[in-house]
Structure 1
Amino acid sequence: MSFISREAGVGMRAPGIKNTFTVLLLALAIHALINPAPARADETSSDTTTATSKSQEVMVVDAAANGSANEQQDYSVKTTRAGTKMLLTPRDVPQSVSVITQQRMQDQDLQSVGDVLDNTTGISTEIIDSERSAYFSRGFYINNYTFDDIPTSVSDTWDFGDAGEDTAIYDRIEVVRGATGLMTGAGNPAASVNMVRKHADSREFTGNVSTSYGSWNKQRYVMDVSGPLSESGNVRGRVIAGYQDQDSWLDRYHKSKKFLYGVVDADVTDHTTLSLGYDYQQSNTGNPTWGGLPTWYGGGSRTRFDRSTNPSADWARYSLDSRKVFANATHNFDNGWTFRLNGTHAEETFNDKLLYIMDFPDAVTGEGLSGFGSKDRGTRKLDSVDTYASGPFGLFGRRHELVAGVSYSRQHNATYSADGALDSDQMGSFNNWNGDVADPQWDDWYQNADDVVRQKSAYTAARFSLADPLSLIIGARYTQWRTNGSSGDMSKSNLTPYSGLVYDINDTWSAYASYTSIFQPQTYRSRSGSYLSPVTGKNYETGLKSDWMNGRLTATVAVFRIEQDNVGQPDGDNFVNGGSEQAYYAAKGAVSKGAEFELNGAVTDNLQMTFGATRYVARDSTGRFNSNMPQTSFKLFSRYQLPMLPELTIGGGANWQNRTFQDATGPDGETQRVYQGSIPLANLFARYQVTKQLAVQANVDNLFDRTYYSWLSDYAVYGEPRNYSVSLSYNF
């Protein structure tokens, strides 16, 4: 199957940082476990989770309740482990971090991880066809997806997978922009998307059932039930199940989805918790698209097809199955240290039968198109384990924080295809197309890929309190990366550094600067036969962070620069060892530089808001880098609870991005530049609390029914027209 290609192989490599630094921090971790930090007068002994806050004070966060009822409805979080795995306030993390909470997902009706990313500051979306999407940050392709901090290796083949996960099973989604090699190992310097699962945290029987109906006969039913499994409540369970069925604005398209999630949490002791869970998600699509509609007619004029036109054949189908088993153990020591062991086994399979339409039709007769059919199947299996310890230690009379851990993952990817061509006579006229075309003559099955990727890593980071207003985070990750199979037999090792400095200007504002990196191995070889060094990247960032109302409202202003090097480029007419394999050389890649702003959280007790703005310029040796990605974007969403009628909450927002373009080959064989104008999309929502248990909510997206393209090259994919949904939710 010919998947859409892109400049995705971006990574980072550590500059010369000595191995003694890693040994030193690991030694500090052992020392801290044996000799805990001396207690300070302002510290409180508690079994609740603690996070270091300003001026050496300790913020105490109740792990069960995590604040008042208002705070549970906030768009912000008090603490996060994003970026470093140390439990910090967002203001103490020296990178741009966005956390999309459960309340935000509920208000905006964000039902998939892709929906969340569509509405996250600094993230741009590429809808390739009806089933595949890709996401970018600061001009770079995001291939770093983690589930409870367990990384999954992503390639173009799996664009439809991780971002399609249903959000009903997640408590929040954390996005760290820039390079994230310390936590994710290999990948691109774009962003890391961490999906934090819900757990059985209630000692009383509680639950929620919801149902919704919307445009194109979209029906959705979700049940979320949790409660004690033992008389004391030390063993608790939670089950989340859902079913969704829908048509589309595309003719003949139909999709169904079901998911089941279960988790058991057990307090083995007052300090130790064990969790075991299972996640199953399945989707089936009839008449899915592969690619889109022709951009031009054969004579060179632009096509103007109706948005409902579906280029799929009536025999096309698509199915996806995902199964994950996960387990973790957490132990909180009396000295403030936490030990966590996290493991998962995941299997994902897909099976499809698709039609890709090629060439350009005659403007009058509609004839002239040819087709390419593809039957595909694939499996991705992942086994991964991650363990780390984090907590405080004392040094030179001050209190510091440390995290140290190791991880291992093994991922097996296997895909197979069978092709079948359709000539223009078989395709017929595209006028009044209804997908009624015969199956092609299918060729035999062949293997696209069969490879195993292994990563072994050790990482550590420390947050040193240099003075009451000044802290330094410094760390590194050592990764051994190896692949065997169809992509080549190769092994690479890399030391990935991390450093950040945070200065508290006052109780509200902090200034920070950071250097982060990441690397991405590549299977290109030089003319001598040796594999090229990994693609490397460096992320430089500085800015200001602030919080108000005890962390309920946060703001970040960031300026960044990302550099990408060692990108494999064809070495002219040279071949590997004089054979038939194209030789490559390592060249400098792209540079992205820009600024971001985000305001997130409770502006008042009644008003929640997220506003994000991004502007960057990304260029490589040929000009603008990933020109189909907007370089300026704004994203706003808010909710307001009326003081005079507290049962009613209203809100909405808007997303805007500037003009983009792609260069494509037109009907005359010449390269033409195709532009997508700026896109403004507005949305509204309202919720009315009928009783204490029952609520009704309505959402409208693309309020003004803006017509736009989500992909525009030699083929075009329309974006979603105006649509609505109405839902009922009952708590018990």
Structure 2
Amino acid sequence: MTHRITLLTRSIRRASASTLSFALLSGIAVTASFAQAQDVATTAERQVSFAIPAGPLDQVLGQFGRQAGIPVSTNATLTAGKSSPGLQGEFSVEQGFARILGGTGLTVLRQADGSYLLLESAKDDAALELGATSISGRTLGQATEGSGSYAATATSIGTKLVSSPRQTPQSVTVVTRQRMDDQNMQRFEDIALYTPGLTLRKTGGERPEFYARGAAIDNIMIDGLPIAYDSDTLGTSTLAMFDSVQVLRGASGMMVGAGNPSGTLNLVRKRPTVDPRLVISASAGRWDAYRTELDISGKLDENGHVRGRFVGSYQDQNTFVDAYENKRQLFYGITEVDLSPDTTLTLGAYLNREDNPGADWNGLPSQVDGSFFAFSRSARTAPDWTYWNKKNRSAFVEVEQRFDNDWKLRLNTTWLRGDLEMLGGSLYTDENNDFHLNIGRYTYEHTQKSGDIYATGPVELFGATHELVVGASLRRDDTDDGPGGPAINADVIIDPTAFDPNSVGKPGFDYNWSRYGREEQSSLYATGRFNLRDDLHLILGSRLDWYAYEQTTHSGAYTFGDDYKVTREYTPYAGLIHDLDDTYSVYASWTRIFRPQSALDAGGSLLEPVTGTNHEIGVKAEYFGGALNASAALFQLNQENLAKSLPAGLCSPGVASCSEASGEVRTRGIELELSGELAPGWQAIAGYTYAGAEYTKSSDSAQRGDRFDSDTPYNLLKLSTTYRLPGELQKWTVGGGFRTQSSTYTSFGVKQGGYSLTDLMVGYRWNATWQAQANLNNAFDKRYYQSISNSWGANIFGEPRNLMFSVRYSPDL
């Protein structure tokens, strides 16, 4: 282990920018630590001087806790739609709470550790009772809505054990609802653009893909339940229905089973609230972009035992590409029913439709030598009658049973249907390097079914209390694609620089293509957090997976397919966390993930799955009672058993091609991140990532030591911040973002130098009901390619400068 860490450390030193970035973020962390040491309110009786302006209750409580130097536990269910007059002057903690919470129907309960828990007020003065507010536990304490913060207090993305980011021994980022609103995030692509360590690539205008640590993210989760990420059919404009997005970088086998060692995204749904809530927003921007959104929530019976929420959004806009439009709509509904004080049933569904007239199949071509044509950013090389339309329908059922011994049993199931209708055009080159127009028309139908059941709770062992999760899951993905096929006699020679999208008429099609497939995975897993000492925690996990895949494709007179299975594939997890004090922790973790492959060995048997092993060490910190999180990590990721082709003469009779599992890729890097409130009213997130992937063994010996995944930048720096102005200007909020990345290139000779982008934001709140916001993206109108590929493929421009105005109405009901 020492030898590995030494090698890892040496490799990190090769990144010249890493030292500067580490010093920058460390300096901020030291400053925050010093500021924390100046907090003067240490007891409930001490008088503290407060200067907190009026505003939403969640934000006022957050500032109160930080100025008083006390942790305050709240959730969006209780604070949604409530405001507070703020607090000015000297008060004790109890006096301050009384003034801030006056007339809200809420109170606080002081805990043994000195923290305060926000509760609904008792019906009489004799006792406090939780009543319907106990539903906060069913969101696993991970809701960020209403917090006004860029920092999350809890996550379960790594192991299903709910813990703070500081107690999670892997690199984790949480994109809170406040960040989504401030940066006007509406699509999954926006998460990738603004999250440290993630990069966005596209193989077409409506086919975004996310990458981390040298590999594509091929699984995402919704409320902890994995689904396959399919960029062809899965709609990506559904962020309106989510409270937050948790991002894990590195191997995620304990959560998703089979997949790439890149990481995963956990999308946390918005949940019903007891208090009535209404939010209506509208926005307008460049390219005739118009969007409206409705979010309404509240109790559906007198006692709050039945609660519901509905979110709807509609968007209609052109894009910067000629004759390319987006028409998108989302309808999401969820109901929670308390069947008993200890049993809750949740039912929900959503419909998402994305019609994209004019969407391209791939993107713009480059010249054969890899250099770029002198295209304008509005150029297209596909006919203007193309389209790429998606429709997603999903339903889910959850049941949670709580027991007197603090154990909980949870069942989570979902059904997701993704449909695609596309008519596309793209270019390709022949042996003479002439460009031809390729046209195709296809339909896809992908149906995913997932179920997960687990029990979690405390266990007593050797005089200490530990936590345990035991569960089982089942996933199935059915593919029924087609009919589809190419156009008849459509491959005419064209000049990409003089292409007229109106000059090509719709041809006839030969519907000679179809595809059928099924992917199944069943799993057993267990994870435990063992408190070896008050300051030392060991996390151990194990998972067994049974995986099977089969697919048959028909194309004209040809039929071909793949099928393979894996039995009892074992995935381990180990993490150790040492709390240095109340602020800092150091950690080390090791885990794996597997990905089955269809390649055959010389005897005709399937090769062993590709494995991805993640080693990580780091330090994490919490400042101001968790309002500000910081982390620094060193990691090494090894992908092993990659197929290496063998000469045909070594293959057994009847085996057309064969391979051996000997290819390896190693990724080494560093990640630094800071997120949360640096000072009252100042929210920020800053992250730097260096991830260098190279071949250690390859099918081509000349590749050994060469860069792997070269179209992903090795260096990424992302900053986002907002600041609410003080004093008489407190109704104004200003902010912005900055992103910069190093150069990239592809094996086809296409290259792009590093580039930087700047975004700006300003907001104005008239009162607790009305607020307005303006977001200026790519403020300096940088011309760059979001994705690069090859001479016939997905070279796709990033968006030019654009301005979006938004208005939000949220009355106090």
TM > 0.5 fold call: yes
Aligned partner of 2:485 in structure 1 is: 418
SS at match of 2:287: helix
Return closer, same or farther for 1:165/1:407 CA change in 2, 3 Å cut-off: farther
2:351 aligned with 1:280: yes
Matched, 1:341 2:411: yes
* Match in the other structure for 2:109: none
Residue number among 771, 776, 780 corresponding to 1:704 in the alignment: 780
Residue 572 of structure 1: how far off its partner (Å): 2.5
Residues 49-83 of structure 1: CA distance to partner in whole angstroms, max 9, x if unpaired? 9xxxxx99999687667799997111111111121
1:85 aligns with 2:152: no
Give the AA of the match of 1:720.
E
Cα distance in 2, alignment partners of residues 483 and 67 from structure 1? 34
In 1, Cα distance between equivalents of 2:626 and 2:545: 35
Within the candidate set 670, 674, 687, 2:750 is matched to 674
- Once the two structures are superposed, residues 622-650 of structure 1 have per-residue CA deviations (whole angstroms, 9 ceiling, x without a partner) of 22111000010001001101112221111
- Paired residues in the alignment total 665
Q: Deviations over 1:275-316 (max 9, x none)?
A: 1000110011111112222212x7987411111101121221
Q: 1:300 to 1:396 in 2, by over 3 A?
A: closer
Which runs of 4 or more aligned residues in structure 1 lie more than 4 Å from their structure 2 counterparts after TM superposition? Answer: 46-49, 55-71, 160-163, 298-302, 421-430, 574-577
Find the counterpart in structure 1 of residue 185 from structure 2: 110
Provide the secondary structure at the position in 1 that maps to 2:646.
Answer: strand
In structure 2, the CA distance between the partners of 1:424 and 1:522, relative to structure 1 (3 Å rule), is: closer
**Aligned residue in 2 for 1:250:** 321
Name the SS of the counterpart of 1:105 in structure 2. helix
CA shift in 2, pair 1:295/1:128, >3 Å: same
How far is 1:577 from its partner? Answer: 4.3
Q: CA deviation at 1:482?
A: 1.1
Q: What is aligned with 1:350?
A: 420
1:686 is aligned to: 762
Higher helix share: 2
Instruction: From the superposition, tell whether residues 731 and 437 of structure 1 become closer, same or farther in structure 2 (CA, over 3 Å).
Output: same
The alpha-carbon deviation at position 411 of structure 1 amounts to 1.1
Map 1:569-608; keep pairs closer than 5 Å.
569-574=644-649, 577-579=652-654, 581-608=656-683
Which residue is equivalent to 1:235? Answer: 306
Say if 1:454 and 1:361 are closer, same or farther in 2 by CA, change over 3 A.
closer
1:324 and 2:394 equivalent? yes
* Residue segments in structure 2 that go unaligned for 5+ positions in a row: 1-73, 78-111, 120-133, 553-560
Residue in 2 aligned with 1:658?
742
Query: 1:439 maps to which residue?
Result: 506
Distance in structure 1 (CA, Å) of the matches to 2:260 and 2:653 = 32
Q: Following the alignment from structure 1 to structure 2, what is the Cα–Cα distance between the partners of residues 517 and 384? A: 22
1:164: how far off? 1.1
Unaligned 5+ runs, structure 1: 1-45, 50-54, 665-672
CA 1:479 to 1:60, structure 2 compared with 1: closer, same or farther past 3 Å? farther
In structure 1, the partner of 2:716 is 633
1:563 and 2:638 are equivalent in the alignment: yes
**Counterpart in 1 of 2:564?**
490
Which whole-Å CA distance do the structure 2 matches of 1:300 and 1:123 have between them? Answer: 25
Can you list the C-alpha shifts for 1:259-280, whole angstroms capped at 9, x where unaligned?
A: 1000001122222221100011
Measure the CA separation in 1 of the matches of 2:431 and 2:571: 51
User: Take 1:68 and 1:140, find their aligned partners in 2: how far apart are those partners?
Assistant: 29
Q: Quick one: structure 1 residues 71 and 695, their matched pair in 2 at CA, closer, same or farther if it must change by over 3 Å?
A: closer
| Identical positions, percent | 32
2:363 alignment partner, one of 292, 307, 310: 292
- Is 1:183 aligned to 2:227, yes or no? no
SS in structure 2 of the partner of residue 106 of structure 1:
helix
Counterpart in 2 of 1:124?
199
CA distance in 1, matches of 2:472, 2:676: 34
For the Cα contact (< 8 Å) 2:549–2:563, is it kept in 1? yes
d(CA) in 2 for partners of 1:463, 1:61: 27
Q: Which residue of 2 aligns with 1:23?
A: none
Distance (whole Å) between structure 2 residues aligned to residue 450 and residue 82 of structure 1: 32
* Superposed displacement of residue 580, structure 1: 6.4
Residue deviations 1:342-361 (CA, integer Å, cap 9, x gap): 00111111010101112399
Whether the 8 Å contact between 1:574 and 1:583 is mirrored in structure 2 is: no
* Inter-partner Cα distance in structure 2 for 1:635 and 1:455: 36
Paired with 1:324 and 1:92, the residues of 2 have a C-alpha distance of 33
Pairing of 1:152-171 with structure 2 (within 5 A): 152-154=227-229, 158-162=230-234, 164-171=236-243
Q: Note if contact 1:483-1:489 (Cα within 8 Å) is conserved in structure 2.
A: yes
Counterparts of 2:402 and 2:163 in 1: how far apart (Å)? Answer: 16
Give the equivalent residue in structure 2 for 1:359.
429
Residue by residue, what CA displacement relative to the aligned partner does 1:155-194 show, whole Å, maximum 9, x if unpaired?
xxx3244471410000110111100101111011101111
Structure 2 distance, partners of 1:61, 1:77, is 17
> Take 2:429 and 2:549, find their aligned partners in 1: how far apart are those partners?
37
Q: Report the secondary structure of 2:179's partner residue.
A: helix
Equivalent of 1:380, from 431, 446, 453? Answer: 446
Q: Equivalents in 2 of 1:274, 1:293: separation in Å?
A: 49
How far residue 538 of structure 1 moved from its aligned partner, in angstroms, is: 0.4
CA drift at 1:409: 1.1
In structure 2, how many angstroms separate the alpha carbons of the residues matched to 1:69 and 1:161? 29
SS in 2 for 1:268: strand
Which structure carries more relative contact order (alpha carbon 8 Å, separation 6+)? 1
Q: 1:575 to 1:694 in 2, by over 3 A?
A: farther
Q: Is the CA contact 2:245–2:268 (under 8 Å) kept in the aligned structure 1?
A: yes
Give the one of 431, 450, 471 matched to 2:516.
Answer: 450
Tell me whether 424-433 or 698-707 shows the greater mean CA deviation: 424-433
Residues 540 and 573 in structure 2, CA contact (< 8 A), matched pair in contact too = yes
Alignment match of 2:807 (pick from 706, 728, 732): 728
Between the aligned partners of 1:216 and 1:253, the Cα distance in structure 2 is 10
Can you list the C-alpha shifts for 1:419-478, whole angstroms capped at 9, x where unaligned?
Answer: 12656756477526234212344223312x311111110111111111111110001111
**CA offset at residue 336 of structure 1?**
2.1
RMSD: 2.7
In 2, Cα distance between the equivalents of 1:450 and 1:406? Answer: 27
| Residues 371 and 750 in structure 2, CA contact (< 8 A), matched pair in contact too | no
| 1: CA distance, partners of 2:266 / 2:691 | 24
**Equivalent position SS for 2:438:** strand
Distance 1:130 1:652 in 2: 26
Distance 1:58 1:143, change over 3 A: farther
**What does residue 43 of structure 1 align with?**
none
Distance 1:79 1:579, change over 3 A: same
Letter in 2 for 1:444: Y
**Counterpart in the other structure of 1:3:** none
Contact 1:372–1:422 (Cα < 8 Å) also in 2: no
TM-score by length of 1: 0.86
Q: Say if 2:609 and 2:641, in contact at 8 Å, map to a contact too.
A: yes
Match of 1:194 among 246, 266, 269: 266
- 1:8 matched residue in structure 2: none
The equivalent residue for 2:216 is 141
Distance 1:251 1:690, change over 3 A: same
Corresponding residue of 1:267 = 338
Alpha carbons of structure 1 residues 260 and 163: separation in structure 2 relative to 1, 3 Å: closer
CA separation in 2, counterparts of 1:691 and 1:349? 43
2:169 to 55, 75, 94: 94
TM-score under structure 2 length normalisation = 0.78
What residue is the counterpart of 1:473 in the other structure? 539
